[in-house]
Structure 1
Amino acid sequence: MIFLDTHSLKIHRELNQEIEKLETQKKELIDLIEKDQKNTDQLISKDSLERFARENYGHKKENETIFYIEIEDSLNL
């Protein structure tokens, strides 16, 4: 014999929805971790680390001049 009331069914449904939401969030976080792991693996080599520093932080070598060219988008005038 099973005795169920409406409150336990409602609570059970809400908990199942919460579980699904958390599992989705977990999957998204795992995907982000894998992406970040790939990025950090690429930064192990000196060349890729130097490229990252140049592109993101404007680092340059001695006796080197860097010119930044900004192109305006003609569609957003």
Structure 2
Amino acid sequence: MKNLLNLLRNKFFLSGIAFLVWMFFFDRNDAASQYEYRNKVNKLEEEKDFYNKEIAKADKELKELTTNVQSLEKFARERYLMKKENEDIFVVVDNKKEDQ
């Protein structure tokens, strides 16, 4: 018990405890803020990975479109509903997708 009282009277121990309390709860970079920042960084890393995959997919598609005439024609027909002069186009719409 006497050792505990001596420890609590020690100015270095008290200043160390005060410093730790200040750093964990009152500082601008406290533990809760660090946790939020870490979560935000993880979320941004996931978004970065997603967009890098999308960029790679778009680059692959662009390369295919610039090198292959058949794929360019297929792309134009599917995405932009382009047609040749002697053709008719019928667009089939799925009602289930429209309701959602």
TM-score w.r.t. the length of structure 1 is 0.69
Which is bigger in relative contact order (C-alpha 8 A, separation at least 6)?
1
- Count of matched residue positions in the alignment of Structure 1 and Structure 2: 72
Q: Which has the larger radius of gyration?
A: 2
Identity across the alignment (%): 28
- Structure 1 residues 71, 56: CA separation in 2 closer, same or farther (over 3 Å shift)? closer
Give 1:6's aligned residue.
Answer: 25
Find 1:46's aligned residue among 59, 69, 72: 69
Name the structure 1 match of 2:52.
Answer: 30
> Unpaired segments of 5 or more residues in structure 1?
none
Q: Under a length normalisation based on structure 2, what TM-score does the superposition of the two structures give?
A: 0.56
Q: CA deviation at 1:57?
A: 2.0
Distance 1:71 1:57, change over 3 A: closer
Instruction: List, as ranges, runs of 4+ consecutive aligned residues in structure 1 with deviation greater than 6 Å.
Output: none
Question: Quick one: distance in 1 between partners of 2:73 and 2:64?
Answer: 11
Listed as ranges, the gaps of 5+ residues in structure 2 are: 1-15, 96-100
When the two chains are superposed, the root-mean-square deviation of aligned CA atoms in Å is 2.5
Distance 1:21 1:51, change over 3 A: same
